[in-house]
Amino acid sequence: RKGNVIITGASSGLGLATAKALAETGEWHVIMACRNFLKAEKAAKSVGITKENYSVMHLDLASLESVRQFANTFRRSGRPLDALVCNAAVYLPTAKEPTYTAEGFELSVGTNHLGHFLLARLLLDDLKQSDYPYKRLIIVGSITGNTNTLAGNVPPKANLGDLRGLAGGLNGIQSSAMIDGGDFDGAKAYKDSKVCNMLTMQEFHRRYHEETGITFASLYPGCIATTGLFREHIPLFRLLFPPFQKYITKGYVSEEEAGGRLAQVVSDPSLIKSGVYWSWNKNSESFENQLSKEASDAEKARKLWEVSEKLVGLA
């Protein structure tokens, strides 16, 4: 049978390119988990994904209620779950004030981390039950959260501190809207959320890999300077960022190529090692990359897991 893969945020950028790459193999049915149904349908058509190879299911990661509903709807569809890709993200680098999810969490961490954390926890049982030869849970990471890299050292740097803002509810009322308890900074909130994504992947690996055989992995697909992720940035940045990445840093990768990389992490039998953060070298060969000190801190990962469980109502 075909594999079934859920991809969050498959209505644009990396998620859409990955959906296309997997659907084209004829071996995967892609469930596009998107907040905008019509946009997702149009996106699938625009890249030529054929009807029998995808379905769209509504998911708004900025609402935990929507995440729970999505898990129920998926279950009722009767499809087995063979791979889950947590890809969707928001990036609000120019926001002066924090905005919030339905439950009142700062929007970047609420969407990118907490929404995905609940989704992945709810769907873990479905993955466990699949009889597919490989089962995978992939959480898209980023270089920007890794302070052991040049890109990760562009201020403001990611730093979760002692998680006091998160533990306080990240709501800007009783607590700060930032995980470390500091003043709001939209660019930092995104980077912090990506550190959470990478810590979560490793904690999943420690807790569940041996017992379930599921592969847990993260990746940095390269700098896809053309995606909608930068839609909130100032126009000059949006104009100069793609050529800068193409010709100066040479970290640029097309949406198609990045989609091929993520598709590889989802389906390539040679990439089944669990607990790995994948990256690609200049010849587009995958390798196991090192995470920064903070993004590989096991104690912080455990604490993040426990605090997140409380916030999403699992503990």
Q: How far apart are CA 310 and CA 100, in angstroms?
A: 18
Closest CA to 87 of 142, 49, 29: 142
Nearer to ligand NDP, 16 or 163 (CB): 16
Looking only at residues 190 through 219 of this chain, which bind ligand NDP when binding is defined by CB under 6 A?
A: 194
Structural tokens at position 268? 């390539």
CA distances from 267 to 190, 290, 296 (A): 28, 22, 25
Residue 192 near residue 178, CB atoms below 8 Å: yes
- Binding residue (CB under 6 A) for ligand NDP from 23, 64, 85, 88: 88
Q: How far is the CB of 152 from ligand NDP (least distance, A)?
A: 11
* Segment interacting with ligand NDP (CB under 6 A) among 28-36, 74-82, 116-124, 281-289: 28-36
Q: Provide the phi-psi class of 313: left if phi over 0, else alpha when psi is between -120 and 50, else beta.
A: left
Q: How far is the CB of 123 from ligand NDP (least distance, A)?
A: 15
- Binding residue (CB under 6 A) for ligand NDP from 4, 11, 108, 279: 11
Torsion angles phi and psi, residue 171, rounded to 5: -110, 0
Q: How far is the CB of 133 from ligand NDP (least distance, A)?
A: 27
Closest CA to 197 of 226, 215, 219, 182: 219
Residue 35 lies near ligand NDP (rule: CB under 6 A)? yes
**Which residue numbers are catalytic?**
190
Looking only at residues 220 through 239 of this chain, which bind ligand NDP when binding is defined by CB under 6 A?
A: 220-221, 223-225, 227-229
Looking only at residues 249 through 288 of this chain, which bind ligand NDP when binding is defined by CB under 6 A?
A: none
CA angle 36, 41, 43 (to 5 degrees): 90
Residue 104: CB atoms within 10 A of its CB come to 13
Nearer to ligand NDP, 141 or 181 (CB): 141
Residue 111 lies near ligand NDP (rule: CB under 6 A)? yes
Q: How far is the CB of 1 from ligand NDP (least distance, A)?
A: 27
Torsion angles phi and psi, residue 108, rounded to 5: -70, -50
- Binding residue (CB under 6 A) for ligand NDP from 6, 7, 15, 149: 15
Q: How far is the CB of 211 from ligand NDP (least distance, A)?
A: 27
Residue 9 lies near ligand NDP (rule: CB under 6 A)? yes
Residue 62 lies near ligand NDP (rule: CB under 6 A)? yes
Residue 142 lies near ligand NDP (rule: CB under 6 A)? yes
Edge-to-edge strands, sheet with 276-280: 54-58, 28-34, 3-8, 83-86, 136-140, 215-219, 276-280, 286-288
Torsion of CA 71, 77, 83, 87, to 10 degrees: -50
Q: How far is the CB of 221 from ligand NDP (least distance, A)?
A: 6
CA distances from 120 to 123, 127, 155, 291 (A): 5, 10, 30, 21
Residue 12 lies near ligand NDP (rule: CB under 6 A)? yes
Residue ranges that bind ligand NDP, judged by CB under 6 A: 8-9, 11-15, 34-36, 39, 59-62, 87-90, 111, 140, 142, 194, 220-221, 223-225, 227-229
